[in-house]
Amino acid sequence: SAVISQKPSRDICQRGTSLTIQCQVDSQVTMMFWYRQQPGQSLTLIATANQGSEATYESGFVIDKFPISRPNLTFSTLTVSNMSPEDSSIYLCSVATGGLTNEKLFFGSGTQLSVL
């Protein structure tokens, strides 16, 4: 299994500001994923972060709003830019381990973001 540390665990932010969320894994992984869970909803994939290349964003999510960094194989950050109350959600990072024959996907503990 993979141990994923995510911080901050929660934050309350003002409209128009930005927040950077960090995700640290205890082993090297090729792909890291960022998800959003809006209140009372399921998880939606924001983007896939590969080391050494630009992140791949899902429909409805753009780099200017959610810039992602992936400087090495154990770390990634997601920034929520120019926040509005609609950005209030739980943000989770995820990693895939085990390769094609034993694929397992693990999650960090999430960042609870509230925007006032």
Partner 1 sequence: AQTVTQSQPEMSVQEAETVTLSCTYDTSESDYYLFWYKQPPSRQMILVIRQEAYKQQNATENRFSVNFQKAAKSFSLKISDSQLGDAAMYFCAYTDRGSTLGRLYFGRGTQLTVWP
> Could you list the residues that contact partner 1 (CB under 8 A)?
31, 33, 35, 37, 41-45, 48, 90, 92, 94, 96, 100, 103-107, 109-110, 112
Query: What is the CA 34 to chain-centroid distance, rounded?
Result: 3
Q: How far is the CB of 107 from partner 1 (least distance, A)?
A: 4
For residue 64, give the amino acid letter.
D
Neighbours of 64 (CB within 10 A): 7
Whole-number CA gyration radius for the chain: 14
Largest CA distance in the chain: 45
Is 96:103 a contact under the CB 8 Å cutoff?
A: yes
Between 16 and 40, name the residue whose CB sits nearer to partner 1: 40
Q: How far is the CB of 75 from partner 1 (least distance, A)?
A: 17
Between 16 and 54, name the residue whose CB sits nearer to partner 1: 54
Q: How far is the CB of 17 from partner 1 (least distance, A)?
A: 23
Peptide bond into 8 cis (omega under 30): yes
Between 20 and 41, name the residue whose CB sits nearer to partner 1: 41
Q: How far is the CB of 16 from partner 1 (least distance, A)?
A: 26
